Chain A
Amino acid sequence: MFEDLRDLYQEVIFDHNRNPRNFRVMENADRQVEGFNPLCGDRLTLFLKMDGDVITDASFQGSGCAISTASVSLMTEIVKGKTEAEAEELFTKFHEMTTGKEEHINLEALGKLAVLAGVREYPARVKCATLAWHTLDAALKNEANAISTE
């Protein structure tokens, strides 16, 4: 019945929505930042454990739609073990993929994150996918304040 939506709601997204990974409060986190999308009320708290400039652990709490939940769940998986610079580079690539500015995006470089490429066709939902990454960006820049997609 929802054939048209297969590109947006891939099975991986349903899976991460049903069973979000790294969905826990992190005791003794080095960084903790809140992300908020006032348009839809999506809210998340991102926790990072750092060793020098390497992200050794990432987790989150919060509630949101399937796209935003899957996005943050996938993100916490993929950034573990990455340096700050590598994570920032992923953010740039992810942003290009979801906002569709880049004609020939290398989806392979994005690994599993490529399942979120479909939001490009749904401008109203792009912010759902990018909230996690804006929050990470703020955490890496060590911005103390809560971040908002607006």
Chain B
Amino acid sequence: MSGFDVNKIRQDFPILAEKIRGKDLVYLDNAATCQKPQAVIDSIVQLYSHDYANIHRGVHTLSVRSTDKFEAARSKVKSFINAASDKEIIFVRGATEAINLVAQTYGKANIKAGDEILITAMEHHSNIVPWQMLCEQTGAVLKVAPMNHKGELIYSEFEQLLGDKTKLVSVVHMSNALGTINPVKKIIAAAHAKGIPVLLDGAQAIPHMTVDVQELDCDFYVFSGHKLYGPSGIGVLYGKQSLLEAMPPYQGGGDMIRKVTFEETEYNTLPYKFEAGTPAIADVIALGAAIDYLVAIGMENIAAYEAELLDYATAKAKQIEGLTIIGEAEEKGAILSFTLNKIHPHDIGTMLDSLGIAIRAGHHCAMPVMDFYGVPATARASFAMYNTKQEIDVLMAGIQSLIEVFG
């Protein structure tokens, strides 16, 4: 692999040197949020120490500096996902807010009683609830395309559900509970053949693979900064310009207007139309720093390394008696969800924590997925580019010994 050096990468993440209960931290909860490289931390310190002021509204030097850095970050996002224009990059709080924005603007303007919105059985709650709310408001109907026991979308059933009444398809690019990577190109092509726009929930996919929104031809793509090695509280809505232009604004306030009188208001142009109020300035700029960091390493290199980690972890997990892997899709990202015979995930989580290992135990904001597998919860180890095979060995040894302790 061209120049990918995990040890060098680890040194860029100060928190990885942390001791947890006296043990070396083994951080395997990256699907929940991932840790930050020094470059991201430094960019926040730099801004607040030297360049900070409000953006888009001052003629003074600091305001200009902050505005330039803020807009430079927008361009970095644009290039990172290969959007056609900076105008298509809307900064929001996260994937959740981005989906809510689309539901309440595009959705309210275009979806009526009796229309259908199509999602899949493996969605995160944030790609279920905003649509349920819209359905309640409009009388539209939420349709759910099923998955098989491996955790793969049953594509033929998805295609059948794609009907004349379908007005929007909203699917997860990569599942946070199962790791499944959906056949999004095929999904988009099939939906577009019927004139139906597609939103991709890229919250999990974005840190693990190259995303090219023009090549995918998706209509909306959403993700959160904190899962992409950037700060929390900042995220991105990508939308095709023509769609964004036609959508009504989301929130009203400063920055999103061009002219206000008490009689009427003229809205600002894209992307500002959707960015009311003072945004998370430092966090947007730090997200730009995270993207610079990732581009320097190369998303292809990251994807290849993580695939190796997942293969290694999966093979090791299969050797453990009583361990069941939840989610065995052919196309899968670096997530290992599992259950142990008669040992509840919460006990697994607490016991591994005592060894310095951070995993997630719970329903992963995907209760319908848990229901599908008939489990209350799973344990989930999720990997990032800074994880190592040695850490996977520590995890597996921990699992082995907790099985022994439980007896």
Binding site for B on A (CB under 8 A): 1-2, 4-5, 8-9, 14, 17-18, 39-43, 63-67, 122, 124-125, 128
Contact = CB atoms under 8 A, between A and B. Distances in A.
Contacts of B355: 1-2
Interface string B290-315: 00000000000000000000000000
A57 to B, nearest CB: 27
A18 B407 contact: yes
Nearest to A13: B347
A125 B351 CA distance: 12
A41 B350 contact: no
B347 A67 contact: yes
Chain B, interface size category, equals 20 to 34
A2 B347 contact: no
8 smallest beta-carbon distances between A and B, as pairs: A41-B376, A65-B344, A65-B346, A4-B354, A1-B401, A66-B347, A5-B354, A65-B347
Interface string B326-345: 00000000000000000111
Contact of B350 (A5, A39, A42): A5
B347 A40 contact: no
Given A9-B405, A14-B406, A40 B377 contact: yes
Interface in B344-376: 344-347, 350-351, 354-355, 361-363, 370, 376
A63 B401 contact: no
A66 B363 contact: no
B402 interface: yes
B407 A128 contact: no
Given A8-B350, A14-B407, A128-B346, A40 B401 contact: no
B21 interface: yes
A60 B405 CA distance: 25
A11 B376 CA distance: 25
**Which secondary structure characterizes the binding site on chain A?**
mixed
Given A2-B401, A4-B21, A64-B344, A40 B362 contact: yes
Given A4-B354, A14-B406, 16 more contacts: A1-B398, A2-B354, A4-B21, A9-B351, A9-B405, A14-B407, A40-B344, A40-B346, A41-B377, A43-B376, A63-B376, A64-B376, A66-B343, A124-B350, A125-B346, A125-B350
B406 A41 contact: no
A2 B405 contact: yes
A122 B350 contact: yes
22 contacts: A1-B355, A1-B398, A2-B354, A4-B354, A5-B351, A5-B354, A8-B350, A9-B347, A40-B362, A40-B376, A40-B377, A41-B370, A43-B376, A63-B376, A64-B376, A65-B344, A66-B347, A122-B350, A124-B350, A125-B346, A125-B350, A128-B346
Indicate the member of B347, B398, B406 with the most A CB atoms within 10 Å. B347
A41 B351 CA distance: 18
Given A9-B405, A14-B407, A40 B361 contact: yes
Contacts of B405: 1-2, 9, 14
Contacts of A14: 405-407
Interface in B374-394: 376-377
B163 to A, nearest CB: 34
Contacts of B401: 1-2
Contacts of A17: 406
B114 to A, nearest CB: 33
A65 B361 CA distance: 11
A104 B405 CA distance: 31
